Amino acid sequence: MTAAFTTVRSGALTTVQDAGRPGHAHLGVPRSGALDAPAMRLANRLLGNAPDAAVLETTLTGCALRPDRDVTAVVGGAYCPVSVGGRPAAWGAPVRVPAGSVLDVGAAVAGVRSYVAVAGGIAAEPVLGSRSTDLLSGLGPAPLRDGDVVAVGTAPRPVPLPVAAPWPGPAAELVLPVRLGPRADWFSPAALRTLASGAYRVSPHSNRIGLRMEGPPLQHASTGELPSEGMVLGAVQVPPDGHPVVFLNDHPTTGGYPVVAVVLEPALAAAAQAAAGTPVRFVLA
């Protein structure tokens, strides 16, 4: 018999995420998946799960869950207080949650997105090979609401745990290495200098689709219209208002605003943990 969680408190936005559904961009399907994939994988590894087993991704305010059977869980990613049945419990390490006790994942103290992995993984119905919630196109399970029941898969055999798992905290300043292109030629040399030297901040309007920037606008050098073209993860798209948006996992697969540069993929996990107001610096890689 497998366990299920009842959602006691769904938090600001809690979604099911795994490695996403890459390979369908030509159909207009975003890749989706955990924004901080290294955090998801580490939480799964600590439980003996497959690295890409489905987890819950919270946003700023955490969530609270009550299992109907004893389960083992790991809360990782953004650092936050954790409690089980009202008693403080470990963050970043396996915790036992007895049947009927509430696992409370508190508000993020640092970072944005905490991950709740459970031995056996979250057992939502896969869509196109993934259990991820895609907020742009609405594929996968809906975001959690209070009272929702979330099924858990069959727990793996307990495995020896790695000692001292490293959980990087969010940086005080988000440094995003970028390669210029594919549409850097839509911008003046002055605009490209602004991108590489400007003081940007993470906008509170950021979400799983994109990390929006506040700071000096990048004016298009031409006023033409760009025909729709394929967009990559990490694309720095510049809409007509000039404020760059770094595309995250739920980004649209095609778009009509020029992409001035692309953030190198290893930096995107940190981007997903950068809270509103975090200073951002783009550096040419």
Partner 1 sequence: MTDGPSLTARPAGRHALLVELSDAEHTAAFHAEVLRRRAAGTLPPVAEIVPGARTVLLDGVGDPGALARGVAGWEVPPVTADDGEAVEIPVRYDGPDLADVATLWGVAPEEVGARHRAHTYRVAFCGFAPGFGYLTGLPARLHVPRRATPRTRVPAGAVALAGPYSAVYPRATPGGWQLIGTMPDPGALWDPARERAALLVPGTRVRFVTADAEPTGPGRGGASPQETSAAGAGTEDGA
Q: Closest approach of Cβ 56 to partner 1, in Å?
A: 22
Rounded CA separation 97/58 (Å)? 18
Nearer to partner 1, 81 or 143 (CB): 143
Alpha-carbon radius of gyration of the chain:
20
| Choice between 179 and 281, CB closer to partner 1 | 179
* Phi, psi of 39, deg, nearest 5: -65, -45
Two tokens at 271? 């981007």
Rounding to the nearest 10 degrees, give the CA dihedral for residues 112, 107, 146, 129: 30
Provide the β-strand partners of residue 152.
122
Q: Which of the ranges 1-9, 147-155, 200-208, 232-240 carries the binding residues for partner 1, by CB under 8 A?
A: 232-240
Nearer to partner 1, 116 or 269 (CB): 269
Helix ranges (H only) for the chain are 37-45, 189-197, 268-272
| Range in contact with partner 1 (rule: CB under 8 A) among 23-31, 42-50, 141-149, 208-216 | 23-31
- 131 binding partner 1? (CB under 8 A): no
- Chosen residue from 2, 12, 28, 168 binding partner 1 by CB under 8 A: 28
Q: Quick one: which of 139, 191, 192, 248 contacts partner 1 (CB under 8 A)?
A: 139
Minimum CB distance to partner 1 smaller for 45 or for 251: 251
Distance CA 68, CA 4 (A): 6
Give the range of 61-69, 115-123, 205-213, 256-264 binding partner 1 by CB under 8 A: 256-264
16: contact with partner 1 by CB under 8 A: no
Strand order in the sheet with 71-79: 15-17, 55-57, 110-118, 71-79, 95-97
Piece of the chain touching partner 1 by CB under 8 A; list 41-49, 108-116, 168-176, 250-258: 250-258
**Quick check: 263 binds partner 1 (CB under 8 A)?**
yes
CA-CA distance, 265 to 248, in Å (whole number)? 10
Indicate whether 33 belongs to the interface with partner 1 (CB under 8 A): no
According to CB under 8 A, which one of 103, 262, 270, 271 is a site residue for partner 1?
262
Cβ contact 76:117 at 8 Å? yes
Considering only CA atoms, which of 202, 256, 203, 205 is closest in space to residue 226?
256
CB of 14 to partner 1, least distance (A): 22
Q: Are 33 and 248 in contact (CB under 8 A)?
A: no
When asked if residue 249 is in the footprint of partner 1 (CB under 8 A), the reply is no
- Comparison of 166 and 227: residue with beta carbon closer to partner 1: 227
| Residue 268 near partner 1 by CB under 8 A | no
CB of 139 to partner 1, least distance (A): 7
4 forms bridges with which residues in the sheet? 151
> What percent of the chain is helix, strand and coil (3-state, nearest 5)?
10, 30, 55
Do 36 and 272 meet the contact criterion of CB atoms below 8 Å apart? yes
Minimal distance in Å, beta carbon 207 to partner 1?
A: 18
Contact between 137 and partner 1 per CB under 8 A: yes
Determine the 3-state secondary structure of 12 from DSSP.
coil
Residues of this chain that interact with partner 1 (CB under 8 A) are 22-29, 127-128, 137, 139, 179, 181-183, 227-232, 234-235, 252-255, 259, 262-265
